[in-house]
A and B are shown apart, each in its own frame.
Chain A
């Protein structure tokens, strides 16, 4: 038993390395906050593009579906690698400024921003599907009522459909967000010292995993409360649903 405690819960080691691991965790949080915000926005854009009406816009819908299928179907790690490995060359070849190819905005290193791009384009695709479910869950009559009042498709979406859809999909979006937060650890492979990479560095130096356990605890300190919030929101919606919402009848 002692060896287990020593390998995973060496409190001395945890104390010594707390600062280093926590610094990595702050990096993780920033990565999750920025890419999470961007993925939420990009996902909504994709969902709206997919819902554009009319025959002339069919190519847009088709391209959006292809995009969503592609990014839902490949591993995030692969996306991180192809972006970080080639974006500098691609940007240079296209004559874009160096700050696009090797972004170091707001004092963050370029692996951070490659991670943000990769997570945004990948999770945007997941979240687009969640939004879509929400949009399609709004009764048809809502769009018809809005259109019959003379509102355009865009106005109807903005004022009538999306506000109702977003309310419905906040719990599943939060679930995706928890998954996104955990997946930020993949950016460690391109040398961003986020919490897992920090723990791994300590592990390599000390041949002891306690710093990684510490990282896990930091994750849980954020993800468990979020999971509880999701549960509570879902329970609230369930109660509303069983009570019956006469307005949506």
Chain B
């Protein structure tokens, strides 16, 4: 674990009258895994979407590798999106393209790799997420877990410095969750910097270097998994964890 890769300072986001993020301060060390937990509507997803500027913050600064990416310039958008991969709850694979083409498209059109280069890289990554036999399948022929693994591989194909995971197992049937989390465990073990919005407390406990609890647009509490999950200091954290572990 080294220097700070990603840093948010006083980030605010409003949707009309709705004040979704109310001053977020967060530092993510290079090579670390940060898990963000909290009730729905607490702003977790918006936080991720602000980081890669799908939702530009209204106030505050976001630094990536020491460079400010906020400030509305297209430069910042390109800079962050080429360095930070994102995986969505709904997979968002391109349905008219095969698994291989899903991985190759941005490699050729954004990074300018040759078709051959992109192809090789895509095959290797699909192999790595356990889908070496599905390279030519279209998304509708794949299970949710397989689709999500393709989506992770698609983001990895861009050689990102960090990965954002937005509730990536929430849309999956229970028996398919493990195969996706296993890929993420491996990725973490290899030293990928990850910010993971999740409801999977076991995963957070096992993989996270830092757990962040959010509520009502603020970071209420953060620390090691033991600190936040086992010995929460804040009343709201205790209440949330009580509800989660109850069932």
Report which A residues bind B (CB closer than 8 A).
Answer: 139, 141-142, 144-151, 155, 159-160, 163-164, 167, 245-249
Contact = CB atoms under 8 A, between A and B. Distances in A.
B78 interface: yes
Interface in B93-116: 93-96, 105-106, 109-111
Interface in B107-149: 109-111, 138-140, 144, 147
A149 B106 contact: yes
B88 interface: yes
A78 B218 CA distance: 61
B100 to A, nearest CB: 14
**Max chain A CB contacts within 10 Å: which of B78, B82, B85, B92?**
B92
Contacts of B171: 249
A33 B107 CA distance: 38
Nearest to A140: B92
Nearest to B78: A150
27 contacts: A139-B90, A141-B90, A144-B54, A144-B92, A145-B92, A146-B106, A147-B54, A148-B86, A149-B81, A149-B85, A149-B154, A150-B110, A150-B158, A151-B105, A151-B110, A160-B105, A163-B96, A164-B96, A167-B96, A245-B140, A246-B147, A247-B91, A247-B93, A247-B95, A247-B138, A247-B139, A249-B171
A148 B84 CA distance: 8
Contacts of B93: 145, 247
A167 B78 CA distance: 30
Nearest to A164: B96
Given A155-B109, A159-B105, A164-B96, A148 B144 contact: no
Contacts of B95: 164, 245, 247-248
Contacts of B109: 151, 155, 159
B237 interface: no
Interface string B48-86: 000010100000000000000000000000100110011
A148 B160 CA distance: 11
Nearest to B82: A150
A145 B93 CA distance: 8
- In the complex, the 3 A-B pairs of residues with the closest C-beta atoms, listed nearest first: A145-B92, A149-B106, A247-B95
B155 interface: yes
A54 to B, nearest CB: 9
Contact of B81 (A139, A141, A148): A148
A160 B96 CA distance: 8
Contacts of A139: 90, 92
B90 A249 contact: yes
Contact of B140 (A146, A147, A163, A246): A246
A141 B158 contact: no
A244 to B, nearest CB: 9
Contacts of B110: 149-151, 155
B155 to A, nearest CB: 7
Contacts of A147: 54, 81
Contacts of A151: 105-106, 109-110
A142 B105 CA distance: 13
Contact of B88 (A141, A159, A160): A141
A160 B54 contact: no
Nearest to B52: A148
Contacts of B86: 145, 148
**Max chain B CB contacts within 10 Å: which of A164, A245, A249?**
A249
A248 B93 CA distance: 8
Interface in B157-174: 158, 171
A144 B171 CA distance: 18
Interface in B211-236: none
Given A145-B92, A164-B94, A247-B95, 11 more contacts: A141-B90, A147-B54, A148-B54, A148-B155, A149-B105, A149-B158, A151-B105, A155-B109, A164-B95, A167-B96, A245-B140
